[in-house]
Structure 1
Amino acid sequence: MTHDANCIFCKIIAGQIPSRKAYEDEELLAFHDINPWAPVHVLIIPKAHVATLSDTGPEHAAMLGRMLALAPRLMAELGVTSGYRTVINTGPDGGQEVYHLHMHVMGGPRPWLKG
């Protein structure tokens, strides 16, 4: 599994930076965002360091599918019943701030209308 010693998400995976975990297995970690845009806002990340969605290929298809399939399960477990939003920001023009692939899953009343 690849890691980047300078990546904040790799440090969270390694336990060097604390997080409020929502889910973890051998391949994925989900944790609550420290600056939430919605009442429920979790990030789902692969444990292997992949910088952006553009850096994925056919070999990542199963992992990407598992990330997407985890979203509804987590939202249900966290009490979100009226819908949620999934977002993967990619690259500078896509608004990506941390260069470790991550999917935002935001639930609750109209989470995209943060002021």
Structure 2
Amino acid sequence: MVGALLGLASLLGACSGGKSAFTQSGQGSYYADKFEGRKTASGTRYRANKLTAAHNTLPFGTVIRVTNQRTHRSVKVKVTDRGPHAKGRIVDLSRKAARRIGMVDTGVAPVQLKVVKKKR
């Protein structure tokens, strides 16, 4: 019962009409080069030189700030695809976004996501 009430309180807080409260922490990765030009789940084509991301639940068009927790560098990206499809990962970034936060060499990094602008 207490767990259900806490879950409801969390949901209501996120929907309160103020700034988005959505944050998420976990492992981030970036798209392999073989995906260049392929259609994403939103219908757009993936381009490595754009600031985009894949997330499993956030609406397409949502802008999120992704912070590499090792380098403390951040980048804003637009959600245009679904994924990542690798277990334990919360976001896939375009190569340009991954380069901006310093994770191209490692491939995977601990990241924090925060919604900057909700898709309306």
TM bin, normalised by shorter chain, reads: under 0.3
TM-score by length of 2: 0.26
Q: Report the structure, 1 or 2, having the larger strand content.
A: 2
Larger relative contact order (C-alpha < 8 A, sep ≥ 6)?
Answer: 2
TM-score by length of 1: 0.27
**Higher helix fraction: Structure 1 or Structure 2?**
1
Q: Which has the larger radius of gyration?
A: 2
